[in-house]
Amino acid sequence: MVKVVLDGVSKHFNGTTAVDKFNLEVNNEEFMSILGPSGCGKTTLLRLIAGLEPVSEGQILFNDKVVNEIPPRDRNVAMVFQSYALFPHMTVAENIGFPLVVRKNPEEKTNERVKEVADLLRLPHLLERKPKALSGGEQQRVAVGRAIVRKPDVLLMDEPLSNVDAKTRAYLRAELKELQRDIKTTLLFVTHDQTEAMTMSHRITLMRHGKLIQIGSPEQIYEHPRDIWSASFVGNLPMNLFSCKLIDKKGIRAIVASCFTPQSPLNIMKKLKDQKDGTQFTLGVRPEDIEISKTQKSGLFCEAKVHLLEPTGDSLIVSLKVVDTIIRAKTKPGFKIEVGDQVYISFEWNRSHIFLGTNNSELISDMNP
């Protein structure tokens, strides 16, 4: 199999930079997700690896071999597109076997390989049907089957689950993860869906404006965001961000913000020990790290009014108004609370994040041990 390396890769279109000095190593047999908002250059990155677009700068290497000038047909790369791109006049079997037919593979061996792939993807009962007779999930499995039938070294997937319903998407996530493990191929999976990236990947590459922002395991990306943008982008609910200032009056130190009274949590004070009086920073707290109580007790430092309730079945999302700030918290669905209720909140300080400065600043201290 293949290790894929991008060394300073850039792509320019008429003065616009779609991919900017991208450095990435994807290990052999790794499931790597490229996660980012629409228009950030994810699809262009895949097309560069596939050879469908020429590289403007830098090198792409497969197992230390530069492939910039190698045409797509000779890279042994397969790509699954968002639109499936199945041939409507062909049966499922003919669609899956098409890459082998165009390579003039013997008919008997083609039929054997199609059967192997159909068994792997649980498609044997559909082999004689045409695409119009298939569900979205079935069409996606056929598209995957066509991609893997010739045993590619690298499998590229461009938003492959975006056209199926939520229930089918959840099923296909598990199926694709299991498939990649079974066929042992290097897989790059482009998505803007964080759930897909978090649940399927060995590692995630976070991308914005054509640049690599952060790379790490799903846990690292979520628990240790590099900067404010990463912290707010990753997570089903955005991280709550508070503009804060450090005050130091004759050795008495505290953090202040417009929406809560001065606080001096020990672990945060320790992380800010080298910062001076007046230092501005952003405090990040995820919704699940906020405690809500209907009664005041020790540690609950902030009064809030319930602004909006969003039950999701397995949780309750509570929007709280504190002065002019809306704070979102996530709690258990059985929590009895009504819009307009006065409540008290506190933060789980040891899971909070500090970003020095007030713009898209980098993380200066991570509260996790």
> Which of 176, 197, 231 delimits the end of a domain?
231
Q: Nearest 5°: phi and psi at 223? A: -85, -20
Same domain, residue pair 162 and 18: yes
48-55 contacts, C-beta under 8 A, 24 or more apart: 48/6, 48/9, 48/11, 48/19, 49/4, 49/6, 49/77, 49/154, 49/156, 49/188, 50/75, 50/77, 50/79, 50/156, 51/75, 51/77, 52/79, 53/11, 55/9, 55/10, 55/11
Structure-token match 């597109």, residue found: 81
Same domain, residue pair 214 and 279: no
> Which of 231, 262, 285 delimits the end of a domain?
231
Cβ(293)–Cβ(341) below 8 Å: no
Q: How many CB atoms lie within 10 A of CB 162?
A: 14
Same domain, residue pair 34 and 160: yes
Same domain, residue pair 126 and 247: no
- The confidence score (pLDDT) of residue 236 equals 86
Same domain, residue pair 81 and 48: yes
Q: Which two tokens stand for residue 204?
A: 């995630």
- The confidence score (pLDDT) of residue 163 equals 82
Same domain, residue pair 260 and 225: no
Alpha-carbon span 21 to 287, nearest angstrom: 35
CA 232, 242, 280 angle in degrees (round to 5)? 110
Using CB atoms within 10 A of its CB, is residue 267 exposed (0-12), middle (13-18) or buried (19+)?
middle
Same domain, residue pair 296 and 180: no
- The confidence score (pLDDT) of residue 363 equals 61
Phi-psi group of 81: left, alpha or beta (phi > 0 → left; psi -120 to 50 → alpha; rest → beta):
beta
Same domain, residue pair 252 and 360: yes
Residue 356 domain boundaries: 240-366
Split into its structural domains, the chain has a count of 2
Same domain, residue pair 15 and 125: yes
CATH code at position 351: 2.40.50.140
Same domain, residue pair 169 and 29: yes
- The confidence score (pLDDT) of residue 42 equals 97
Query: Radius of gyration (Cα) for the chain, nearest Å?
Result: 25
pLDDT tens for the chain, 369 residues: list them.
799 999 999 999 999 999 999 999 999 999 999 999 999 999 999 999 999 999 999 999 999 999 999 999 999 999 998 888 899 999 999 999 999 999 999 999 999 999 999 999 989 999 999 999 999 889 999 999 999 999 999 999 999 988 888 888 888 899 899 999 999 999 999 999 999 999 999 999 999 999 999 999 999 999 999 999 999 999 989 899 999 999 998 888 999 988 887 888 888 888 898 899 999 999 999 999 999 999 887 766 789 999 999 999 999 999 999 988 999 999 998 899 999 999 999 999 989 999 986 566 666 545 444
- The confidence score (pLDDT) of residue 361 equals 64
Kindly report the pTM of this predicted structure. Answer: 0.89
